[in-house]
Structure 1
């Protein structure tokens, strides 16, 4: 049977199969190849094949090994693989399905009798297909003679000690090569390896390695079959059943905690911005302080810092251009985020966690230079982190609603689905991702929540909503997505009232609406998620922000569902009566009051002697310090001053909040996988395939062009003769081969139908692409009618 190349195979595929290939391997069209030859070359490259095999399950890889093992020359066959797998008791239908999957990935191509494996597979896979070594005759003639005697080989194996048999069984399972200590092969050594080497069951290959001949391995595998133990089914995942509503309630409770903790963290950072380390991260001391303030451990605090930064709520601001010093600050996006409902706020944080290329679980560990890894440090960037999180959650999503699983079971399932991606480090990362998912509120009791399932489906969607192509219905547009809408029904409704207590505390019986939250932030001191404490300082803070005593009384009466305590009414009136009784300004600054006795008391106060106060009038004192310093000193001394401007009006003292610029997306910093953020829609795929087919047709046409046209002007018809051919083709309306030199000096040819010629240019139509081309006549090197080509 005639063999074909991979380019010919791809060229013959229908569009739907090409679409399936590109969906599985989008890196093949980034950027789009010029033709099928370029596509085939890219599909057979080492990196592309390794990436394709990384997405294939364990059983399919075992069938690929079977194809490699049964390969004769450059090809194998499905029948030879079926014959091998039948000895292992595997259903032929599953084997054919695995071969078809390899075809879908373009790792294997061709009909069943003549299957071909792309060359780079041998470069990225083990050199020992199915874990089997080389023939004994190839390794050592004496070992070849031993395996030729079947009865003698069995007797030698039966004479092996348990320790020696354990070595053989280990190598028979694959790979067949093992390393040994040099002393183990010395004549006076009693190691089992030396015994096996002396009896030619193992053959030394190099100074410290031995290899098991394939004939010995096949004899040891006689019960499992030549291919060894195959795994057509994933491991059984141990699950437990719960009420799905129970998982949703647990997740919703964690959502409330996440949003509250994120807001507390960002407010704390805004009050005292931490410096950005020279390495680009957040200091360990600051992280510990934030963990204590928020009420979480350091690992959770690091995760929270990474999430709010990835969500664009924390950014950086340069405070010293010369020394390049920066601080972390809340961004302008944080102010908009606070105006969202809780479900929309959570949606932004959850999407940021799912898509960020960061590994917060590594915070606190040591790098290669034994230095601790800090939160927000560049060293925490891991391009594969989003794929790991989504793959772990997809295992839970494949379970029935309400089913839960332990992290170890999820790792075992992923080790079957994508074995090339799982090792000790990635196993730990997957378990950490599941713990982070619980912290974010996507899971509850080890099971995926209902809104978590919707969020995964939204992120995997092929294209934007046709009714909302611009995404204005996103949480950033103050509308809720499907997952956020479902979560919103599980959360308690925002409340617009409080319950005032006799101890001057205000209890919020639910998440406060944004307006109430702003009022409570000003009027009270938050002690817990639902308790605010009203004190004289918080009342003065409200008065400084522009409220009057009447405003505060009206606010409390409107917001409280319980009677306003009389002690609180008296406290507000008392603070308001003294508030503003003294005013300061700049002389550098001054103090004035209508109460002369108060001015005299301030002037005589020994605690204020360092201010250097000087009486300008019976009701005015001047000071050499700034108004801010004077205001602070008087308040520390127990006086109730208020700052005023040049017109005598009170200055509202609510400070303007500093905001920083969001950090650049970590996904744009050295991402190794160029397809990590690629989402190819149906129309885009169709356009890419059409572009490849047109380019391939053009390349094939160019290869068929006459030599006289493809060559430069040194041979073939002269320029004058070429113009005559073009004029005749224009009159006869026939097609003609045109050779020309492009703007880069390269020669090319094209089959066109002339439309017009004049003013130094030829305008001709390419019927294949239905495009009109313009050629400068002085660049045309030759022309040949199609009938003569």
Structure 2
């Protein structure tokens, strides 16, 4: 098993399992069961120790030796759980850079098999040092000065950096008191790479007479309080609806005006605040929803700006429960903690995000383990349980509190938790049950509204999330005023003109509005507004003109209009003596001259423009 796989498996261990694993990591070649039990202060048949070893076996991290069931072998735990309890690294690690001939001397001094293969020599030396009785017997035969130094290293720092001692070892001085210990593998010194003399963990744990490892097999019991499950779900449902509205509003705003990215990456505080004002949110919400949208593929990079992706259009077509389910999928295991505020720009990750996905999932399990109708008395109780269940990632309860505060706020925003208690969504996520999750989402988010209530004050109100088609119509013909538990639009003259500018006629727009109105009822004031603006729309028209041609010779202008080679000018008669051209003055002049005419440019005041040839000059080099 490679180190990343070992680390991943170890990150899933509970506190007592990790404590046992840390003791096992002190001896890379394996540990006798009685030595392990003695180290953690229990009997060899203690059921809690047995349970921890079973979990390590199931995780592929430890297993009994085939020839000796009392001997527990591990995968390379020493690679990821180094320096436990203040000991140094395992002998296999400390000796790996020594040449074969040096390893052969150590193996011989230990009475271990001596061969020529580097890897086998390391294993033989590690196995010899894994026997604490052998280490202690060997230690007793060491020179007195070496024993004193080794005892100090065993109970204190596992390194010795006396320059005189290292020089003696480097020059091969056989009278050095530490030469014997180095030749027998009780200490390690690499003349080429060593900055200090080190003591392998196998030696340190054997020589520390009072060594006892921590073992906490009983989980904490955080206090809980009574809270109505109906109240928790009601608040969770409201949060989910508000979340869906916030994401929609935020991404629509990013679609209208893509958000610039900082040179260093991410979206800066000024832009975050601006978005918060525009969509009626706060900075915290904008940071969070941008990250969730990014993790779900709903936004992307367009040049140097953030804008909705093509997936956003597909997402808008879904029912509210499906839309929110899409967000929940990406959020629950996203490797990011955007609310762990540390001065970062939005959409920028950091090392603090590491482990956030595992802790987020663990928190769901902790909440779901609470009895129905109960919630945690405070966040500290939840933090204590998460720290117990995932200590390698979380640290202790105090260390994990900032992350827990950030994750709990996410739970509230997503409608997964309220009052430190789980909602129905939380239970479904903890159970990893897709059907149960889909049912919970449908309970929290009813089907999209297909109609709105049109009121005499020219507002349109939807009590639930509007469908994509309804939103598109109202966003086109009215101005959105609010989101959240309800959705409100207001029809104004400018918003109705916007619909006409997009190609609608008064009859078409009124028909679409009537079809979207609850009961087909359209207030008379809105009908009059649409009809009146429809009659006025387009009475005055504006077209793009590159330039105009003016001549008192109307016959000549008529001739020019009929020349086929000048068709690309799209000449149009504005008056008997004026033609418009779609091209710029320079392009029009060139085309007319190419066709054999002799036009002249004219200034805005009617005088002839003088066309002087441009004369380019280069700057002189600096003296």
**TM-score normalised to the size of structure 1?**
0.51
- 1:587 equivalent among 545, 559, 567: 545
**TM-score normalised to the size of structure 2?**
0.63
Change (3 A) 1:283 1:625: farther
Which residue of the partner structure matches residue 110 of structure 1?
Answer: 65
Residue-by-residue CA offset, 1:283-332 (whole Å, 9 max, x unaligned): 332211111122222122111111112212212223xxxxxxx3222222
Equivalent pair of 1:88/1:228 in contact (CA under 8 Å): no
What CA distance in whole angstroms lies between the structure 2 residues aligned with 1:263 and 1:625?
Answer: 42
Change (3 A) 1:175 1:249: farther
What CA distance in whole angstroms lies between the structure 1 residues aligned with 2:282 and 2:364?
Answer: 24
The answer to whether residue 392 in structure 2 is matched with residue 452 in structure 1 is no
What CA distance in whole angstroms lies between the structure 2 residues aligned with 1:511 and 1:346?
Answer: 11
Change (3 A) 1:299 1:175: farther
Which residue of the partner structure matches residue 544 of structure 1?
Answer: 501
Which residue of the partner structure matches residue 420 of structure 1?
Answer: 392
What CA distance in whole angstroms lies between the structure 2 residues aligned with 1:568 and 1:128?
Answer: 75
What CA distance in whole angstroms lies between the structure 1 residues aligned with 2:501 and 2:403?
Answer: 50
Change (3 A) 1:67 1:376: closer
Change (3 A) 1:445 1:580: same
Change (3 A) 1:108 1:567: same
Q: CA RMSD in A?
A: 4.6
Which residue of the partner structure matches residue 488 of structure 2?
Answer: 531
Equivalent pair of 1:556/1:564 in contact (CA under 8 Å): yes
Which residue of the partner structure matches residue 291 of structure 2?
Answer: 306
Tell me how far 1:436 sits from its aligned partner.
1.3
Tell me how far 1:563 sits from its aligned partner.
5.2
Which residue of the partner structure matches residue 512 of structure 1?
Answer: 466
Tell me how far 1:490 sits from its aligned partner.
3.1
What CA distance in whole angstroms lies between the structure 2 residues aligned with 1:352 and 1:81?
Answer: 42
Tell me how far 1:456 sits from its aligned partner.
4.5
What CA distance in whole angstroms lies between the structure 2 residues aligned with 1:52 and 1:139?
Answer: 40
Equivalent pair of 1:275/1:282 in contact (CA under 8 Å): yes
The answer to whether residue 318 in structure 2 is matched with residue 340 in structure 1 is yes
Equivalent pair of 1:281/1:378 in contact (CA under 8 Å): no
Q: Which runs of 5+ in 1 are unaligned?
A: 1-42, 146-173, 180-205, 208-212, 220-225, 319-325, 366-372, 462-480, 591-613, 627-789
The answer to whether residue 363 in structure 2 is matched with residue 408 in structure 1 is no
Change (3 A) 1:286 1:228: closer
Which residue of the partner structure matches residue 59 of structure 1?
Answer: 16
What CA distance in whole angstroms lies between the structure 2 residues aligned with 1:621 and 1:364?
Answer: 64
Residue-by-residue CA offset, 1:187-215 (whole Å, 9 max, x unaligned): xxxxxxxxxxxxxxxxxxx99xxxxx999
Equivalent pair of 1:49/1:107 in contact (CA under 8 Å): no
Residue-by-residue CA offset, 1:540-559 (whole Å, 9 max, x unaligned): 11222333323344344441
Which residue of the partner structure matches residue 603 of structure 1?
Answer: none
What CA distance in whole angstroms lies between the structure 2 residues aligned with 1:550 and 1:396?
Answer: 56
Equivalent pair of 1:75/1:114 in contact (CA under 8 Å): no
Residue-by-residue CA offset, 1:419-463 (whole Å, 9 max, x unaligned): 22223765423431221122122223322322333245448x8xx
The answer to whether residue 416 in structure 2 is matched with residue 442 in structure 1 is yes
Paired residues for 1:730-745 under 5 Å: none
Paired residues for 1:680-691 under 5 Å: none
Change (3 A) 1:428 1:138: farther
What CA distance in whole angstroms lies between the structure 1 residues aligned with 2:545 and 2:243?
Answer: 49
Residue-by-residue CA offset, 1:363-394 (whole Å, 9 max, x unaligned): 552xxxxxxx2222365794543223222222
Query: Equivalent residue of 2:465, what SS?
Result: coil
Tell me how far 1:175 sits from its aligned partner.
8.4
What CA distance in whole angstroms lies between the structure 2 residues aligned with 1:291 and 1:625?
Answer: 44
Tell me how far 1:89 sits from its aligned partner.
8.8
Tell me how far 1:572 sits from its aligned partner.
2.1
Tell me how far 1:97 sits from its aligned partner.
1.9
The answer to whether residue 450 in structure 2 is matched with residue 496 in structure 1 is yes
Equivalent pair of 1:130/1:228 in contact (CA under 8 Å): no
Residue-by-residue CA offset, 1:695-733 (whole Å, 9 max, x unaligned): xxxxxxxxxxxxxxxxxxxxxxxxxxxxxxxxxxxxxxx
Equivalent pair of 1:616/1:622 in contact (CA under 8 Å): yes
What CA distance in whole angstroms lies between the structure 2 residues aligned with 1:361 and 1:386?
Answer: 13
Query: Equivalent residue of 2:318, what SS?
Result: coil
Which residue of the partner structure matches residue 330 of structure 2?
Answer: 352
The answer to whether residue 241 in structure 2 is matched with residue 256 in structure 1 is yes
Change (3 A) 1:64 1:359: closer
What CA distance in whole angstroms lies between the structure 1 residues aligned with 2:341 and 2:583?
Answer: 45
Q: Which runs of 5+ in 2 are unaligned?
A: 89-131, 149-153, 160-194, 197-203, 549-571, 585-623
What CA distance in whole angstroms lies between the structure 1 residues aligned with 2:491 and 2:250?
Answer: 22
Equivalent pair of 1:523/1:542 in contact (CA under 8 Å): yes
What CA distance in whole angstroms lies between the structure 2 residues aligned with 1:300 and 1:456?
Answer: 24
Which residue of the partner structure matches residue 618 of structure 2?
Answer: none
Residue-by-residue CA offset, 1:593-646 (whole Å, 9 max, x unaligned): xxxxxxxxxxxxxxxxxxxxx99349x9969999xxxxxxxxxxxxxxxxxxxx
Residue-by-residue CA offset, 1:210-264 (whole Å, 9 max, x unaligned): xxx9999977xxxxxx736531111112333433333222222111111111111
Residue-by-residue CA offset, 1:664-690 (whole Å, 9 max, x unaligned): xxxxxxxxxxxxxxxxxxxxxxxxxxx
Paired residues for 1:128-167 under 5 Å: none
Which residue of the partner structure matches residue 54 of structure 2?
Answer: 100
Which residue of the partner structure matches residue 680 of structure 1?
Answer: none
Query: Equivalent residue of 2:259, what SS?
Result: coil
Query: Equivalent residue of 1:358, what SS?
Result: coil
Equivalent pair of 2:87/2:158 in contact (CA under 8 Å): no
Residue-by-residue CA offset, 1:528-582 (whole Å, 9 max, x unaligned): 1222111101111122233332334434444144854333233222212211212
Tell me how far 1:500 sits from its aligned partner.
2.4
Residue-by-residue CA offset, 1:16-65 (whole Å, 9 max, x unaligned): xxxxxxxxxxxxxxxxxxxxxxxxxxx3x655544443332221233345
What CA distance in whole angstroms lies between the structure 1 residues aligned with 2:86 and 2:425?
Answer: 43
What CA distance in whole angstroms lies between the structure 2 residues aligned with 1:47 and 1:556?
Answer: 59
What CA distance in whole angstroms lies between the structure 2 residues aligned with 1:139 and 1:361?
Answer: 57
- 1:576 equivalent among 520, 534, 541: 534
What CA distance in whole angstroms lies between the structure 2 residues aligned with 1:244 and 1:61?
Answer: 35
The answer to whether residue 306 in structure 2 is matched with residue 328 in structure 1 is yes
Change (3 A) 1:81 1:253: same
What CA distance in whole angstroms lies between the structure 2 residues aligned with 1:511 and 1:175?
Answer: 66
Query: Equivalent residue of 1:95, what SS?
Result: helix
What CA distance in whole angstroms lies between the structure 1 residues aligned with 2:373 and 2:216?
Answer: 28
Which residue of the partner structure matches residue 483 of structure 1?
Answer: 437
Query: Equivalent residue of 1:584, what SS?
Result: coil
Query: Equivalent residue of 1:404, what SS?
Result: strand
Change (3 A) 1:88 1:503: same
